[in-house]
Amino acid sequence: MKITLIKYQALSALQGQQVLQIGLPDTQKKMVGDIHGGLHVLSARPSSDIQGCVLLVDEVPRGFFVLKRRSLLPPWAQGRTATLHALMIDQHYQGLGLGKACLHRLPQWVSELWPEIEQLKLAVHPANQTALGLYQALGWTLIDHPATPAEGSELQMLLRLR
């Protein structure tokens, strides 16, 4: 199984259609949205501060996420930071280690894309124990972690690149 991360705009016409087929179970859609919402945010300006990323498995899109920096950072992220949003692995390919492979490649990929970035941040719902465990296993740490998060609140996590 060949796994590759590429920019969304580098997809072929066929891959552009295939990426629209990435589906999630309803429980995950409540936490990260769906592929259409993920693609919609790519219209944000300036476009140099946002990047759609696709995880290809044997040249077929099976995952997607968005990176933001500078002017498009959410209020909880500042400085030489990029934030990770809408990470999704197609429901038919979950449990195969694709999320882990994607996150394992992410630091180098971000460093090549935006060399000035010193850290990655993300927000995750506290009920998403699978994601929390995965992020922590790959070196992400909780920041500003309240003892009991408020209903609907998200936890922030950090991964230092240097």
* Average pLDDT value for residue range 55-73: 97
pLDDT tens digits along 7-32? 999 999 999 999 999 999 998 898 88
| Helix (H), strand (E) at residue 3 | strand 3-7
What domains does the chain contain, in order, with CATH numbers?
Answer: 3-160 (3.40.630.30)
**pLDDT for res 100:** 96
Q: Is the dihedral of CA 162, 154, 4, 20 positive or negative?
A: negative
> 9 or 147: which carries more pLDDT confidence?
9
Tell whether pTM > 0.95. Answer: no
In the chain, what is the straight-line distance between the N-terminal and C-terminal CA atoms, in Å? 30
Q: Is the pLDDT of residue 162 over 90?
A: no
**pLDDT for res 145:** 59
Do the strands 60-69 and 81-89 form a parallel or antiparallel pair, or are they unpaired? Answer: antiparallel
Q: Is the pLDDT of residue 149 over 70?
A: no
Q: DSSP string of 125-162? A: -TT-HHHHHHHHHTT-EEES--SSPPTT--EEEEEE--
Range of lowest pLDDT (9-18, 115-124, 136-145)? 136-145
> 125 or 50: which carries more pLDDT confidence?
50
Q: Is the pLDDT of residue 158 over 80?
A: yes
